[in-house]
Amino acid sequence: MEIIKNVLSDVKKRNPNEPEFYQAVEEVLNSITPVLEKNERYRNTGILERLVEPERQIIFRVPWVDDNGKVRVNRGFRIQFNSAIGPYKGGIRFHPSVYSGIVKFLGFEQIFKNSLSGLPIGGGKGGADFDPKGKSDGEIMRFCQSFMNELFRHIGADIDVPAGDIGVGKREIGYLFGQYKKLKNGYEAGVFTGKGLTYGGSLVRKEATGYGLIYFVKKMLEQNGHSLEGKKVIISGAGNVAIYACEKAQQLGAKVIAMCDSKGYIYDEKGINIDTIKTIKEIKRQRISEYTNYNPNAEYYGNQRDIWNVKCDLALPCATQNDIGIEEAEKLIENQVKFIGEGANMPCTNQALELFLKNNILVAPAKAANAGGVSTSALEMSQNSIRLSWSFEEVDEKLKEIMENIFELTSKSAMKYSSKTNYIAGANIAGFIKVAEAMLSQGVI
């Protein structure tokens, strides 16, 4: 459509050298073409033009002192993208790759993911080009405190609620929240999610994205006459998403045979021992290659990207963006993969997704399938508001219900506007319609 071409052209001009952001916008806009054709209001009210422009972009200096007394300087970001359905909600990422394009792409995706959750949260994202790897606890604390010295001005329980992401776990959230509390001279527990259980965190938050991914994939398989039982699974990544996707998949009868970190991957024909992975990654913070010391029959390979050469029924990219490109997609198809579940944010390139759809492979798209994390964050916000804590079973049941509702919404939109099994289009359309209607209701702001 002409309007989509014009908006995409404008996005490129206004956001040069930000391919990740452009990729995310292109995928959404191309998916919602059928909706735009049927609804003139979405074409003639500036909805698309407003949707692709963040409501607010904050970039700031983060100076800190390392253990040798040397002053270091990083750059911090917060993109408050869309607040049509609730306060901005999205994680903070600490990684050397972070720049405005990455944060914008993540924030844009977050708009639709949060919309699909059915919970009153808008889209935002933040981060810094800081690498926590190899840093002492003291260095990380000083960095987090300096980061919060600026960010505290822009967040709040009813304004913008950050959480963790890559490089930001319970330790970092603790330091960030502690500094926020000091600066604000008040205990506003609802301003952060992913907190420790001793100061307002929620059970299941650590497991939520991985568990939610499997709940969604399970529904997708069942709708198409399949079961998780006995399926061979490979998972990229070794963080929370990957670990707990592995745990839940195995609980539901699947067999996870390969996992990786950024250095390489392990293959265990008998099935990955999840307790060993937790020991290596969560307790000892070691490389996944250590797995063979616990399970000598397992195999370790030095190239992480070669994990996609392992033959499987279900592939779960749970590491980072653009993990699967054309070459990896072709190899998976050659090895007769049947299902893809996106656990990370935008882990497949647009070209890879097109290839999967063309080959009738069922894809559980990230903005729907990995919404379990932010959904449980919203449940944490609810618990903070009522000053109560729910049990693990209560939160897990609510998470399961949310993910099943997201699947139903995605599936209905796919059938109405695209095809029964194009869940990518279904997720984009369902998320877009809710946000667009809220924006139209609130006027031009």
Task: Summarize the annotated binding site for NAD(+) as residue ranges.
Answer: 209, 240
Query: CB under 8 Å, gap of 24 or more: what pairs does 393-400 form?
Result: 395/202, 395/203, 395/204, 396/204, 396/207, 396/211, 399/204, 399/208, 399/211, 399/212, 399/215, 399/372, 399/375, 400/211, 400/215
**Bridge partners of 317?**
236
Q: Cβ distance 147 to 78 under 8 Å?
A: no
Helix (H/G/I), strand (E/B), else coil: 423? helix
Provide CB contacts within 8 A for 184, sequence distance 6+: 152
**Active-site residue flag, 125:** yes
Reference 177, options 160, 190, 158; nearest CA is 190
Helix (H) or strand (E) holding 8: helix 2-14
Q: Which residue has the tokens 């994390």?
A: 373
Reference 195, options 173, 223, 168; nearest CA is 173
Cα-based distances in Å from 273 to 212, 258, 287, 310, 414:
20, 10, 15, 18, 37
Alpha helices in 260-391 (DSSP H): 274-278, 291-294, 326-334, 350-358, 366-369, 372-386
| Neighbour-count burial of 404, counting CB atoms closer than 10 A to its CB (0-12 exposed, 13-18 middle, 19+ buried) | middle
- Give the pair of three-digit tokens for residue 185: 């001279």
Q: Cβ distance 365 to 338 under 8 Å?
A: no
Active-site position among 12, 38, 70, 125: 125
Cα atoms in the Cβ-side hemisphere of radius 13 Å centred on 78: 23
Enumerate the known binding-site residues for substrate. 89, 110, 113, 164, 377
Reference 4, options 358, 34, 15; nearest CA is 34
Q: Cβ distance 300 to 291 under 8 Å?
A: yes
Distance of CA 33 to the CA centre of its chain: 24
Enumerate the known binding-site residues. 89, 110, 113, 164, 209, 240, 377
Active site residues: 125
